[in-house]
């Protein structure tokens, strides 16, 4: 028997198969052995066509290309690498592929990854008709914020910004003292919160943490009025509004109303609102049920202090007579403070900006060991000079950012995007 040995490509193989099928033979014209060759019927012992391997749907990689080494990393290792990137780079990682997008967006990984960035801050300005102004610190990357908030319908009477928390603003229209407005200035969306406002309510704060819940809370503080001095004195009760239920809780009285006075600063972290008071040098921690606990300052020797949240922990900026110290609360239950940074005014400002140490305030970055310093110098004329500086607590380097318009005053409300 004449031995035929044939080798053909895939196209010829398919064309021969199609012609054989059209011939409608009762049995297959060839068989495939374990070696992968096809033997034609009637040619016993002959070697024939090589059988074509089946195409795998999983193997779609082109010939001549190599698999990316990053794709072989486990999810835990990849999350660990991304967690060391700044917030901007983390947001860009969501655009690489579906796997990276799912890892960055997964709720279990949110606390491991950078979740926020300091886009700017709101401040008061007494020299302009618009008392509330906004200063961006994120450059071209940050959103453009109009501090007048024109998308909120107020009838042209203006809006007072009371607090800012993780991208949301707590506002009060000038012509609607019984209502609050919670808005997102970047998305230009807003919602009204109705309140039975009385003159005893002197302060309100906002609580919002998207890593815990998509719903916000409004904390309303009522003060006691002294008939002898004719002034509003200490906080005596607090009630809380939940956006999830749409109702206010009943006023919760404070056990020791005389121990806490005017709120100097506040921050919301892990479902707890922390408010500081320079009257008693203490911090009050208020949960969503209205329960309150008191945390003393790490040191009583202070001319003022502000609370912030950074890297998932409560931080306190302590303003001393000639130095600035940064403290972190290691454990709220044990009230253990850890000194993170301490520097004198001369070391921080240097000789160039030492005169600006007379009046300054700091804003702590939520993810980095950086602080923004808003400082003012009185040159002896009618107008002051205000500058925005950036201080790196690791390298102890101070950089100039920009000049702030005349008339800048506190409070400085950081606008943090999440």
User: Which tens digit of pLDDT belongs to each residue from 16-29?
Assistant: 344 434 444 444 44
Q: What is the predicted pLDDT for the residue at 88?
A: 67
**% of residues, the chain, pLDDT over 70:** 72
**Higher local confidence (pLDDT), 50 or 268:** 268
Q: What is the predicted pLDDT for the residue at 13?
A: 37
- Residue 45 confidence class, pLDDT cut points 50, 70, 90: very low
**Higher local confidence (pLDDT), 319 or 66:** 319
Question: Quick check: 63 pLDDT over 60?
Answer: no
Mean pLDDT of 393-413: 89
**Higher local confidence (pLDDT), 264 or 206:** 206
Q: What is the predicted pLDDT for the residue at 190?
A: 94
Q: What is the pTM of this model?
A: 0.74
SS (H, E, C) 103-170: HHHCHHHHCCCCCCEEEEEEEEECCCCCCEEEEECCHHHCCCCCCCCCCCCCCCCCEEEEEEECCEEE
Question: Quick check: 297 pLDDT over 90?
Answer: no
Q: What is residue 332's DSSP assignment?
A: T
Q: What is residue 406's DSSP assignment?
A: T
Give the contacts of 75 (CB within 8 A, at least 6 positions apart): 103
Question: Quick check: 207 pLDDT over 90?
Answer: yes
pLDDT in tens, 319-348: 988 999 999 998 767 778 999 999 999 999
Q: What is the mean pLDDT of the chain?
A: 77
Within a 10 A sphere around the Cβ of 134, how many other Cβ atoms? 20
Decide if 275 contacts 265 (C-beta within 8 A): yes
- Residue 257 confidence class, pLDDT cut points 50, 70, 90: low
Decide if 361 contacts 123 (C-beta within 8 A): no
**Higher local confidence (pLDDT), 219 or 29:** 219
Question: Quick check: 112 pLDDT over 80?
Answer: no
User: Angle 98-105/75-82 helices, nearest 10 degrees?
Assistant: 70
Cα separation values, 412 from 106, 302, 303, Å? 33, 19, 17
Q: What is the predicted pLDDT for the residue at 8?
A: 38
Q: Among 200-204, 310-314, 377-381, which is the least confidently predicted range?
A: 377-381
Q: What is residue 10's DSSP assignment?
A: H
Q: What is the predicted pLDDT for the residue at 109?
A: 76
Q: How far apart are CA 169 and CA 161, in angstroms?
A: 7
Question: Quick check: 262 pLDDT over 60?
Answer: yes
Q: Among 62-71, 144-153, 287-296, 368-377, which is the least confidently predicted range?
A: 62-71
Q: How far apart are CA 4 and CA 10, in angstroms?
A: 19
3-state secondary structure of 253: strand
DSSP per residue, 351-404: TTSGGGGGEEEEEE-SSSSEEEEEEEE--SSSS-EEEEEEEETTTTEEEEEEEE
Q: How far apart are CA 112 and CA 55, in angstroms?
A: 40
**Higher local confidence (pLDDT), 213 or 225:** 213
Mean pLDDT of 298-312: 81
Spatial CA neighbour of 14 closest among 51, 67, 61, 60:
51
Half-sphere exposure of residue 271: CA atoms within 13 angstroms, side-chain side: 10
Mean pLDDT of 223-230: 70
């Amino acid at each position: 028997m004449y031995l035929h040995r044939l080798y053909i490509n895939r196209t010829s193989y398919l064309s021969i198969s199609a012609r054989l099928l059209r011939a409608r033979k009762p049995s297959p014209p060839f068989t495939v052995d374990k070696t992968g060759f096809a033997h034609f019927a009637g040619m016993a012992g002959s070697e024939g066509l090589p059988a074509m391997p089946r195409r795998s749907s999983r193997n779609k990689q082109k010939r001549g290309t190599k698999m990316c080494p990053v794709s072989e990393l486990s999810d835990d290792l990849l999350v660990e690498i991304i967690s060391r990137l700044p917030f901007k780079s983390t947001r860009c990682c969501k655009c690489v592929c579906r796997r990276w997008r799912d890892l960055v967006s997964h709720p279990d990984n949110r606390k491991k990854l950078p979740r926020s960035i300091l886009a700017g801050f709101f401040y008061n300005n007494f020299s302009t008709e618009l008392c509330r102004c906004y200063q961006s610190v994120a450059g071209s990357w940050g959103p453009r914020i109009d501090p007048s908030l024109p998308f909120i319908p107020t009838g042209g009477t203006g809006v007072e910004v009371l607090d800012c928390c993780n991208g949301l603003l707590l506002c009060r229209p000038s012509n609607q003292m019984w209502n609050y407005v919670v808005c997102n200035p970047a998305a230009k969306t807003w919602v009204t919160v109705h309140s039975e406002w009385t003159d005893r309510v002197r302060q309100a704060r906002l609580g919002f943490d998207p890593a815990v819940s998509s719903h916000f809370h409004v904390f309303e503080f009522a003060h006691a009025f002294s008939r002898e001095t004719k002034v509003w004195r200490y906080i005596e009760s607090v009630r809380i509004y939940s956006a999830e239920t749409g109702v206010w809780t009943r006023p919760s009285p404070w056990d020791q109303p005389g121990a806490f006075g005017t709120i100097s600063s506040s921050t919301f972290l892990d479902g707890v609102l922390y408010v500081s008071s320079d009257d008693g040098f203490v911090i009050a921690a208020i949960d969503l049920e209205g329960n309150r606990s008191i945390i003393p300052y790490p040191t009583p020797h202070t001319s003022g202090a502000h609370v912030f949240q950074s890297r998932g922990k409560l931080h306190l900026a302590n303003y001393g007579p000639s130095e600035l110290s940064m403290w972190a609360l290691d454990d709220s239950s044990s009230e253990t403070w850890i000194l993170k940074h301490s520097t004198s005014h001369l070391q921080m400002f240097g000789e160039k900006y030492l005169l600006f140490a007379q009046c300054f305030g700091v804003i702590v970055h939520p993810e980095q060991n950086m602080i923004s310093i808003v400082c003012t110098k009185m040159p002896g004329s009618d107008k002051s000079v205000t500058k925005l500086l950036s201080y790196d607590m690791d390298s102890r380097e101070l950089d100039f950012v920009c000049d702030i318009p005349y008339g800048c005053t506190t409070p400085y409300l950081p606008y943090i995007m999440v």
